[in-house]
Chains A and B, each alone.
Chain A
Amino acid sequence: MQAIILTAGEGARLGSWTANRPKGMIPLGNRPILDYLVSGVVKSGIREINMVVGYGKNSVMSYFGDGSSFGCEINYFFQEELTGTLDAMVIGMEGIKDDFILIPGDNYVSTESFGNMVNVSGPALLSGKANRWSKWGEIELEKGTPKITFDNPEAYGRMHFTGILKINKEMGEQLFKAGGHHIGEALQKLVSKVRFEVVESEYWHNIVYPWDLISGNRLALRDNLLYRHGKIEKNVIIKGDVSIGRGTVIRSGSYLTGPISIGESCDIGPNTVIDSSVSIGDNVMISSFSEISDSIIMQDCNIGSYSSLKGTVIGNGSSVGSHSIAIPITRDILYFDETFSVSDRGAMVGDNCKIGSRAILQGGSILMNNATIGEGEFYNADFQGENI
């Protein structure tokens, strides 16, 4: 059994966070989404992975190398023109011998799913409970036979196709011949001819919009890799699953409630509170008396003292002045000409942004790369920065 992971696409709707990398390389729980997929695939016993790369391919190849540090062999295939998932699949089918699992690389699914699919003898679809309409289509079971539909927009809580399926080489060719905009549409045509078994993923998150990063991060921290290096000073309280990387210092009086993942060479505290579901990348400094919860702080960031960040994403290399706050609210925001209702999200800040001291970022506000917010400013717009 082999696997094909498709990660050539740009993920434009994620804006700033995919400026130089494909969606699958965004860190959630301090690891790229692709890392969870590759680890899950390897755990199921598959040792050969074909990865189709394109947009931001160097970030993928540098991270995974030849796969040996993940216990598998990874071969790379290049999709130069981004003409869709079906074309990508055909490119990745080179060297595929028989059965394979096809995985679009922007899905977060429970790692056991792949093992469950391997255990099914014939072709299989992976389903998951959707929190909103998914482009891959809804799965309806008719006397045990799955049907894929695209017409029901009220999808909350229903069973959807995750885009992940197990087929063999011959069916891959049929799928490509069936055509359509993507795998879901092609499968809709094929599903009446082939008997697929439906395997359910315990949880599933399709990362499409910036506010998906926060919920993705919450899920990803379920698979928090536990490690404890660095230096933890006296009178630091640590509860739950907290990972701390090499060279990191947690200073006295800090209070950490897991799950939390902290990278290498960070400097945190003294007297800093980090609440559950927080991922902190490498080289992050968080000064004293700040409180962070339910957030992703990517690498090389600097967070000033007395700051309060909740439900917030801070991109690589950004700095936040002291006494700045980002507090979640529920509201409608305009994004790519569509209105979305977001709740419990703070600010979503891109790479290399500078946020002055005493700035207030209203919940749901989005800052694109390299944006600057002045001292004491109140910011509540949906977009800012060079990209839009």
Chain B
Amino acid sequence: MMTRNQLRRAHGRFMEAICLLATLLAVAPLAAFLWHLVAMGAGAMTADLFTQVPLPPGESGGGLKNALAGSLAVVGLATLAGIPVGIGAAIYMTEFARPRLAFLLRFACDILSGIPSIVMGLLAYQLLVRPQHHFSALSGALALAFLMLPVVVITTQEMLHLVPGNLREAGHALGIPAWRIATSISMRAAAPGVLTGALLAVSRIAGETAPMLFTAFGNPYFSLDPQAPIATLPHSIFTYAISPYDDWHRLAWGGALMLVLGILGATLLSRFILWWHQRHLHA
């Protein structure tokens, strides 16, 4: 028979074991996913994957050149629009806006970042696809720009908040105009963090599929025309994953590995930028 004290100790041990088991379960899906991805994707990573367009079902071979180029084009277009506007908004919120307005704008960003990506796709559809009566790379880029905007604003703002107020005050004391303080002092001090945030935003939208379904629409051929339907990597992965053909499944896994490597590369690059910056800061 256990004493009361032994009982509560045993109970504590038991609950701690459950917590550790939960941790194991939380890590398991990532491990299983990565294992399966590498196992299935490595075989599909051939030169053809990068240099060929997909073939019709039944013919073996083919690649994802169109989707890779399409993704780069659409994400590139979205980045060109999303990053400058996002950084500008963040500068306004931290450097110029009154606290109440800044709070409201930040709240709007928080809400925006929670809106499902498929809804942003519906917005881009109504803004561009419906009036133009055709799907286009441009509408896909618009949807992605909407999606990345709050991410860029929030990370940039957080980085600007980390810049000590003293630096800005020093600038004011020297009679430097406000725009120079914002660009040459605040933004310069926050630049590595802002770059990290931008990379994060790009890697987030690079994997978006839902809004592409009815904006970029997909295209089995190679195209870089902004006014024409275009294939994107995540959308092609979706199409080939739900198809019944083994050869298309292989393409899907190859594309998946390509996408993960891209996202992982961006993440590692951002970490490296931060690390490099910090080393130089302390040197």
Pair from one complex:
no
